[in-house]
Amino acid sequence: MSLFSHLRALWRQDIRLRTIVTLSLLLGIILLVATAWRLDEIRTSLEEATRSHAHTIGRTFTILRAVAPNENLHLLQSVLDSYHDDPDIARVDLLDVDRMIIASTEPGRVGHTVTDSHTTQAREQGSEIIGYDTLSHESHFLVAVEPLRNGQLITGWVRIEFPLAKMQRQVTLATQGSILTGVFLIGSTVLLALFSMHRISALFRDTATRLQTTLTSLTQQFPDLKPSIEAPGTDPTFTLPSQCGEIERTVALINHTLGLLTRQTDLIQTFTSWLGNAVTSQTSQLNDTVDDLKRETAERAQAELTLRENETKYRGIFESSRDAIMLLFPPEWKFTACNPATVDLFGADSAEHFTSLGPWDVSPPVQADGELSTSKAPTVIQRAMQEGSHYFEWMHRRINGPAFPATVLLTRITLQGKTGLQATVRDISEQKRAEQALRDLSEFQKAILDNAGHAIISATPDGIIRVFNPAAEQLLGYSADELVGKLTPAVFHDPQEVVARAQAFSAELGIDLEPGFNVFVEKCRRDLPNTHEWTYIRKDGSRLTVLLTITALRNPEGTITSFLGVASDITTLKVVQQELTLAKDAAEAASVAKSQFLANMSHEIRTPMNGVLGMTELLLATPLTEKQRHMAHTVQQSAASLLTIINDILDYSKIEAGKLQLEHTDIDLSHLLDDAVKLFSEAARQKGLSLSATVTPTIPTVLRGDPTRLRQILLNLIGNSIKFTATGSIAVIADCLKRDPEQILLRVTVRDTGIGIPCESQAHVFDAFAQADGSTTRKFGGTGLGLTIVKQLVHLMGGTVDLESTPGLGSTFGFTVPLEVGPEKKMSSVLAALQQAPATLHGTVLLAEDNVVNREIAVAMLELLGCTVDIAEDGQEVLDAVNARPYDLILMDCQMPNLDGLNASRLIRERESRRPHRRHLPIVALTANAMEGDREQCLAAGMDGYLAKPFTFDQLHHALAPWLENAA
């Protein structure tokens, strides 16, 4: 047989050979494709890198051409020389637009014209070209041609040749790697296939051997069992053919194994039939046995379930109990088990630690009754074992800790046939403390009741007395034994008073309240205050007045459990109260008399004062000699000083009576300070003093408060400084100590260089009618009320006043007041109108004034203002005049004979109300009264304005301007 025939036969017979060759071919094709893809990837990567390199070189020469024109070839050549030693570059040629070499890494090529296909193609397309060239040198090159541009215009070309040796090396390495990988994979695959085939053949051979052994064993054990049909391939002498491949032998083994399985299946079916007959014969016998077993099993299962449930419940109680639970058994009576609460209570490290101890280890040496713990413990254990349980108190001790009281319940138990005790221990330290606190509280309450200075009486909800303290016994003459638990409080109350109170409370509460115990406690049931005066009748029949406060005591659910009454004897207080009432009435009468006296004195003094000031002002408006003018000024200043004294007395009286009310309006602090300084500027100039005012920028422009009283404070302080300063200066400084969006704390100081105040006198300068000493009163004059009024006004504003002074150097008076921050706004139109008001007014004015001098002054001033004036001497003449002709305004004196100004104003307003279309006639009050409430009286009567006597020309103009300007 030829070699070819032998190989062909081997190929046909050996499936393993065919499998190995096929796998090798498939793996070889896959590796060939992968190698080709990898080589293409390397080539593409190198071309991209070459293209990027060529583009970079092209950009370099483009920039150099832009910087150095063609005539500077030396610079280009020097750059080309830098590429000469680059192993990745074979040659670089710089061409002009006609493809002539103007510079090269090989200087000998300069002047030649390049006509290769790549340069020609690049020139035709006007773009870069890259390709392979195998003509210029012995080795292969990659040629790149890049255009040199000046904007869109091509000014030359760069031709670069890159050697392909690097690419070829990488391709060679990649090819070698692929071949080695292929050989490795093919060899591994062939070895794996051979090994797998061998393992499969061995597996089937082993399976066939085991099946044959099993079949032989069944045949020997059951010789009567014969299969109905002998399965093919079940010959026990079966041998594998030797002239075949591994896979053919495996197939023969599989067939043999299947034959054995078929035979074994027949045997099993025959055996199953025989066994079924045997099982059927035994089934009836087993059914009864099974039923019995089921019943027994069900009963046992139920018992076990009940046992487990009980055990679970007990375990849950045992583990979760807040009380310490432990088990102990004879003969040693040591603890054998415990729950977590036990470990926590006694401070043990763990349950194992605690169960190593006995009762004596967690008890102090001696119990509370003085008996030793070691002798008392066996006694209580024996009693619990005999009686089944025993409950008692015991002193325990924490491990390495203090002793504590506890209650112990010992219960006899039987576990697993062994009898012992379960101990349940509860710490009662808090209970003991609470009991002691309750005892202390009871003793404390008893001490209070026994020693209280007031009668304390408690009654049950139905009125029976349950507490009657010693003070009540002393007050009423009854003993507690006579009343407690027997009688109601009605025994010591006046029955007629109870009936009267029942009627009063019925009307007050809107119910029908019968006389009896409910009269005392009905308000408490309704949670109303229940404090009233009652008349008690002592046991001896004498009477006394008490102030009785009754309170309902309720439990946590709100149910009344008792009533508690506390009575204080106020008989003496009632006498004192009557005396105080009489004294109060007398004081009020004196105050009314004083107020009436001040009002009358104010009226009587201001009326002639108005004449003096008014005539002086009119006199100064006429031509006078210097001497006459000086005398008139002197009269005016004296009258003004007298008026200041009168105003101070009235202000002090208002403040003392608590009738001075503060305004709440806008304040321009800068304007207010300027006005105050201007008012005293002439007095300061005459004494040669420097008077200045400073307002810090941190103070808001608009504040809110009482500008009139703030101005009065400033005037009093500045006037005081001018009075007591002979030389030097007076400085008024306003500053902001604290500020927030809604309020500031204003600080104003008035500093002078006057005579100063001795230390011993500084504490009294703010007292009424006080000055530094009597000599200053005579030397400088004054009532001594100015600083008192300052202090009281500052306190009314919620501020403080202070003083720093050094005798001979001067004084600094200061005050601090809180003021609201007002909204920034322009000066009001009314104020602007007043400031810009003309010197004269126009209108018809009815003057109602009974005093001849005051009438003459008012007429003269009104005429100077440009008004037409009619005169009425009482209220009736005013009514007649108003009916006779229309007026623009009435200047009405409040106190006139026949019909006063207040009643006349009311009558005018009543007539206007009956005639809705009649014009509202302005009425300005003219009065010498300047007490608190006078202005409100005038406004309540229907008047529109208020002008106090004496008044100046400017004050009269200010009071009439709003009305007469509207009339004009």
Per-residue model confidence as pLDDT tens digits over 346-361 = 888 888 888 888 888 8
Tell me how far apart the alpha carbons of residues 331 and 343 are, in angstroms, rounded to a whole number.
Answer: 23
Q: Which of 340, 307, 311, 303 lies closest to 324, judged by CA?
A: 340
State residue 708 phi and psi, 5-degree precision: -65, -50
Alpha-carbon distance values, 115 to 120, 156, 158, 273, 800 (Å): 6, 14, 14, 103, 111
pLDDT at 138: 46
pLDDT at 432: 85
pLDDT at 775: 46
Tell me how far apart the alpha carbons of residues 454 and 569 are, in angstroms, rounded to a whole number.
Answer: 8
Q: Residues near 608 by Cβ (< 8 Å), separated by ≥ 6? A: 853
pLDDT at 837: 43
pLDDT at 136: 47
Q: Sign of the CA dihedral 740, 746, 747, 752?
A: positive
Q: How far apart are the first and last CA of the chain?
A: 155
Q: Tell me which of 103-107, 249-253, 278-282, 735-739 is least confident.
A: 249-253
Query: Can you tell me the mean pLDDT for 834-859?
Result: 76
Provide the whole-model pTM.
0.34
Alpha-carbon distance values, 443 to 317, 343, 436, 446, 905 (Å): 41, 38, 10, 5, 75
Q: How confident is the model at residue 904 (pLDDT cuts 50, 70, 90)?
A: very high
The Cβ of residue 406 has, within 10 Å, a number of other Cβ atoms equal to: 23
Residue 250 has pLDDT above 70, yes or no: no
Tell me how far apart the alpha carbons of residues 888 and 868 are, in angstroms, rounded to a whole number.
Answer: 10
Does residue 472 contact residue 456 with C-beta atoms inside 8 Å? yes
Identify the helix (H) or strand (E) that includes residue 459. strand 455-459
The radius of gyration computed from the CA coordinates of the chain, to the nearest angstrom, equals 64
Q: How confident is the model at residue 778 (pLDDT cuts 50, 70, 90)?
A: very low
The mean of the pLDDT values for the chain is: 79
Q: How many percent of the chain have pLDDT more than 90? A: 11
Residue 213 has pLDDT above 80, yes or no: no
The Cβ of residue 526 has, within 10 Å, a number of other Cβ atoms equal to: 11
Q: What angle do CA 514, 516, 520 make, to 5 degrees?
A: 105
Half-sphere exposure of 509 (CA within 13 A, CB side): 22
Alpha-carbon distance values, 232 to 223, 255, 257, 270, 804 (Å): 20, 9, 10, 18, 138
Half-sphere exposure of 902 (CA within 13 A, CB side): 12
Whether cis (ω within 30° of 0) applies to the bond prior to 950 is: yes
Which range, 304-318, 423-437, 784-798, 818-832, has the best average confidence (pLDDT)? Answer: 423-437
Q: How confident is the model at residue 418 (pLDDT cuts 50, 70, 90)?
A: confident
Number of helices (H), then strands (E), in the chain: 27, 27
Q: Write down the residue that tokens 């006597």 correspond to.
A: 949
Does residue 606 contact residue 511 with C-beta atoms inside 8 Å? no
pLDDT at 140: 65
Which comes out higher in pLDDT, residue 187 or 889?
889
pLDDT at 730: 92
Q: How confident is the model at residue 401 (pLDDT cuts 50, 70, 90)?
A: confident
Does residue 899 contact residue 874 with C-beta atoms inside 8 Å? yes
pLDDT at 434: 86
Q: How confident is the model at residue 876 (pLDDT cuts 50, 70, 90)?
A: very high
Tell me how far apart the alpha carbons of residues 280 and 286 are, in angstroms, rounded to a whole number.
Answer: 10
Q: Tell me which of 44-58, 288-302, 589-603, 734-748 is least confident.
A: 589-603
